[in-house]
Amino acid sequence: MVREDDPYLWLEDVEGEAALDWVAERNAETEAALTTDAGFAFLKGRLREVLDASDRIPYVVRRGAFLYNFWRDAEHVRGVWRRTSLEQYRKDVPAWETLLDVDALRAVEGEKWVWAGARVRHPAYDRALVCLSRDGGDACTVREFDLSTLAFVDDGFRVGEAKTRIGWIDADTVFVGTDTGPGSLTDSGYPRTVRRWRRGTPLAEATPVFEAGAGDVAAYAWHDSTPGFERDFVGRSVDFFRAETYLLAPGDTPVKIDVPLDARAYAHRQYLVVSLKSDWLGHRAGSLLAFGFDAFLAGDRTAEVLFTPDERTALAGHSWTRRHLILETMRDVSAHIEVLTPRPGRGWARKPLADVPALSAATVVDTDPDVSDEFFLDVSGFLQPSTLYRGEIGADTEILKQVPARFDAAGLTVEQSFATSPDGTRVPYFVIGPDRTDTGPGPTLLYGYGGFEVSLTPHYGAVTGRAWLERGGTHVIANIRGGGEYGPDWHQAALGARRTRAFEDFAAVAADLVARGITTPAMLGAEGGSNGGLLMGAMLTRWPHLFGAIVGDVPLLDMLRFHRLLAGASWIAEYGDPDDEADRAHLRAFSPYHQLTADAAYPPVLLMTSTRDDRVHPGHARKTAARLRGLGHQVLLYENTGGGHAGATDNERSAHNSALVHTFLWQHLSRRRTPLASPPVTD
């Protein structure tokens, strides 16, 4: 392994006294520069109002007769887990039954608990495995919860804080992968082993059923509890994108599901459903296939093709009802949705489920695959607040909930354009804002991600609407390579040494916005988080002349040490391995932390992170801020002590963080140029 001198390694000590003292000084500088702005308090209040609004849609999932929801507002700061009936849910103000009040639990136990979800036992829906995170980290504790008595089970299943994977097998047994001591975790910090754990026995004595390698990302297991199709599966994530899955035959004998490593495969009743990421058996990458499960295990590779992509259309998702499959696709990043119905011996019938407006998103929120053809469908757009529909396939659809407009959209429009990247690729982007024909260029915020096959689709952003659009700004979403907007090929085009294509795409969109007269470099800001924070680092170090300000949220910036920090080893398949000489050169070439220089003209930078982020180490943002300061450049750092990778654990903190970001951007990009106080360079 090649070692390089790094004077700021001490900032990787997450809870170290010296590091936290330094962070406190940076936070004070940022608060002084931004919270004293004349509009900060008003903006924060407006954003908090949106986040706490009682007329938000309480999205639900069906578990038997009840609809379950987790809810936060001004009264329930950390939130309540609750349920209601469909009859009540149809009302403007449903009667909810509170299952677990996280604020009350926090008060009793004196711990900063954050809700991390629950696995409700199927099909009885009588018990749950509740996951609670300490102040927002990915690691969580697990406790069994009784849904009849609404209390934790004293002698029930319990697991201490870890990045645990757990799920029900039957009333008295679970599959669990967690930290049980040396050798039980992979290099990425996730479970290496899976055990079958019976009620009333020590976790240490649970029966091992599968083990992954230390260099794998994780081991996993699950029980298919579909009545009449009960089966157990185990597997290992070889890396972030490749996995091996096995059916557990009698005697815990693993039978490999023989699909490509990069395919995603699962059993649904009599089917084996396979989503392809590479070409296979004459089918294109991005296709969705269905096989007879038993026939596949017997060697039959005859597939029913449920979806085939083309150069403009990609699969966005799919959901089963009792007798149908709902297929969500994107055509040039705009949603389309249809229903597929199997007809034995005659293929699958197809028809539209709903008409979706252009440049909009349609998402299946939940279905009821065991019992009925019920579905919940959410439809929204950049200027179109969400509408939640409920229906049963073949019957009428009803509007259950609608969000009122949260910001003034008068004079605002939405358009989709395409920029041309240096290699000739057409890169789509959405522009939301006022018509600049008469006003001329104005403040513009360009957002991007470009990684892990994550697609940026249309959505109604009330916070962005109030913080940016209402004030006269333009918001732009760039659908750059590395994402999934055009399927696996769009993602793979920016893997490893090709990562720079994502950066070039984003810069091409920025240049196109200037060329079209929408903005100028001085009024163009850029924002991205996590992998998008790496994108921001690339903009800072490669194209600083294109931007007037840059914000990186929980950013990934040191590309030579990312694999040694927290969950970083799990991302080697996306970026490359710094310990491999074949990858190290390209990683160093685009590592923002290593490309900073004293003589560059960088725009002002704000880096946001969290002490409790146990996914992307806060050291990335800390060290980059320190190096920028040491080189004499203007930078602000704000590190929330809690919040995890999300950056916040409640609406108060979310509003505060968003107000910091948008105040910073407005100070530097609007015609009202409020100077940013430059801290002394004394590192």
pLDDT of residue 671: 64
pLDDT tens digits, one per residue of 455-483: 999 999 999 999 999 999 999 999 999 99
The pLDDT value recorded for residue 681 is: 37
pLDDT digits (tens, 9 = 90+) for 121-151: 999 999 999 999 998 999 999 999 999 999 9
Least Cα distance to 615 among 492, 552, 531 occurs for 531
Q: What are the backbone dihedrals phi and psi of residue 570, each rounded to the nearest 5 degrees, phi first?
A: -70, -10
Model pLDDT, residue 211: 97
pLDDT in tens, 28-42: 999 999 999 999 999
According to CATH, the topology of domain 9-48+406-669 is Rossmann fold (3.40.50)
CA distance 416 to 421: 16
**Domain residue extents for the chain:** 9-48+406-669, 265-309, 311-405
Question: DSSP letter string over 608-672?
Answer: EEETT-SSS-THHHHHHHHHHHHTT--EEEEEESS-GGGT-SSHHHHHHHHHHHHHHHHHHHSSS
Q: What is the mean pLDDT of residues 653-670?
A: 97
Residue positions annotated with a catalytic role: 530, 645
> Which residue is associated with the tokens 């149809």?
90
- The region of weakest confidence among 4-8, 315-319, 513-517 is 4-8
238-287 pLDDT, tens digit per residue, is 999 999 999 999 999 999 999 999 999 999 999 999 999 999 999 999 99
Are 573 and 188 within 8 A, CB to CB? Answer: no
The confidence score (pLDDT) of residue 144 equals: 98
Task: Flag whether pLDDT at 668 surpasses 50.
Answer: yes
Strands 549-553 and 605-610, how do they pair?
Answer: parallel
- pTM for the full model? 0.94
**pLDDT for residue 682:** 37
Type and span of the H or E element at 436: helix 436-439
Percent of the chain with pLDDT over 90: 93
Q: Please list the alpha-helical segments (H only) found in 67-141.
A: 86-89, 102-109
Confidence (pLDDT) at 680: 35
Helices and strands counted in the chain (H then E): 15, 37
Point out which residues pair with 528 in neighbouring strands. Answer: 552
Distance of CA 499 to the CA centre of its chain: 20
For the stretch 522-568, pLDDT in tens is: 999 999 999 999 999 999 999 999 999 999 999 999 999 999 999 99
